[in-house]
Amino acid sequence: MSGTEAVDGGWPLFEVFVRGKRGLNHVHVGSLRAADARMALTHARDLYTRRNEGVSIWVVRSADVTASAPDERDPFFAPSGDKVYRHPTFYEIPHDVPHI
């Protein structure tokens, strides 16, 4: 996210999140430009759901996104690196146990 702001009549950048279907999270799909949030919603509908990809859309000004620092080597994510037990693959169980 570049956080580019509107300049001389240009429209600010918005990030778009689409819920593919009920039961799923909204997922970031990309960005677009719009004069305001209401326009960003219609643009998002026209650009990102031309093929019925979504049932719900969120838009947020790119400038309003607060992000953690750069990449996964950053201390922000380091603590989880050793907590492998949070991941299902940590647990070895026999292959023939169904539905798990």
Partner 1 sequence: MTTEADEPELRAHFEETVAADRRVEPRDWMPEAYRATLVRQIAQHAHSEIIGMQPEGDWITRAPSLRRKAILWAKVQDEAGHGLYLYGAAETLGADRDDLTRRLLEGRQKYSSIFNYPAATFADVGVIGWLVDGAAICNQVPLCRSSYGPYARAMVRVCKEESFHQRQGYELLWTMTRGTAAQREMVQDAVDRWWWPSLMMFGPPDAASPNSERSMAWRVKRHSNDELRQRFVDMTVPQADRLGVTLPDPELRWNEERGRYDFGTPDFAELARVIGGDGPCNRERIARRTAAHEDGAWVREAAAAHAERRARRADGAGVAR
Partner 2 sequence: MNGTGGEGDGPGDARWAFGTGFEDPLHGVAVEPPPGADGAAVARVCVALADDALVGAQRLAEWVTCAPELEIELALANVGLDLLGQARLLYARAGQVDGSGRGEDDFAYRRAAAEFRCLRLAELPRGDFAFTALRMLALSSARLAVLDGLRGAADPVLAAVAERGVTEVTYHRLFAAEWVVRLGDGTDVSRGRLGRAVEEAGPWLAEVWDDAVGAELGVAPGAVRAACAADWGRVAREAGVPLPVPVPVGGSGGRAGVHTAHLPVLLAELQGVARAHPGASW
Q: Which residues bind partner 2 (CB under 8 A)?
A: 11, 20, 32-35, 38-39, 42-43, 45-47, 49-53
Helix (H, G, I), strand (E, B) or coil at 15: strand
Residue number, 5 or 46, with CB nearest to partner 2 = 46
* Interface stretch with partner 1, choices 17-25, 67-75, 82-90, 92-100 (CB under 8 A): 67-75
Taken in order 53, 54, 57, 63, the sign of the CA dihedral is negative
Angle at 72 between CA 71 and CA 76, to 5 degrees: 95
With contacts defined by CB under 8 A, how many residues of the chain interact with partner 1? 24
Residue number, 21 or 100, with CB nearest to partner 1 = 21
Nearest to 29 by CA among 57, 70, 68: 57
Q: How far apart are alpha carbons 42 and 66 in whole angstroms?
A: 24
Residues that bind partner 1 (CB under 8 A): 1-2, 4, 6-7, 9-11, 13, 30-33, 35-36, 39, 47, 50-51, 67, 69-71, 73
